[in-house]
Amino acid sequence: MNKLAIVTRCDDNLKAMSDITMPIIEQYAKKCNADLHILSHIPTVNTWDNKPHYRILECIGLLDKYDRILALDCDMIINKDCPNIFNIVPEDMIGSIYEDKGSRKSDRMERIKDIQNAFGNVGWVENYTNAGTFIFSKQHKNILMPVEEEYWSERGSVDVHLSYNIHKYNFKVFELSYKWNHMTMFSESWNGNANRFNSHIIHYAGGGIFDSNVSTKLEQIKKDYETIYVRDKKI
Alpha-carbon distance 121 to 80, whole Å? 42
Does pTM top 0.85 for this prediction? yes
Secondary structure of the chain: what % helix, strand, coil (to 5)? 40, 15, 40
The topology under which CATH files domain 4-205 is Spore Coat Polysaccharide Biosynthesis Protein SpsA; Chain A (3.90.550)
Contact assessment for residue 35 and residue 6, using Cβ atoms and an 8 Å cutoff? yes
Contact partners, residue 185, CB within 8 Å, separation at least 6: 99, 101, 102, 103, 104, 191
Each of the 235 residues of the chain gets a pLDDT tens digit; together they read 899 999 998 777 788 999 999 999 999 999 999 999 998 777 778 777 777 678 888 899 999 999 999 999 999 999 999 999 999 999 999 999 999 999 999 999 999 999 999 999 999 999 999 999 999 999 999 999 999 899 999 999 999 999 999 999 999 999 999 999 999 999 999 999 999 999 999 999 989 999 999 999 999 999 999 999 987 554 3
Query: First and final CA of the chain: distance in angstroms?
Result: 40
The domain locations on the chain are 4-205
- Residue 213, by phi and psi: left (phi above 0), alpha (psi -120 to 50) or beta? alpha
Contact partners, residue 87, CB within 8 Å, separation at least 6: none
- List residues bridging with 202 in a β-sheet: 77, 182
User: Which residue type, as a one-letter code, is found at position 171?
Assistant: F
- In angstroms, how far is CA 23 from the centroid of its own chain? 18
Contact assessment for residue 94 and residue 175, using Cβ atoms and an 8 Å cutoff? no
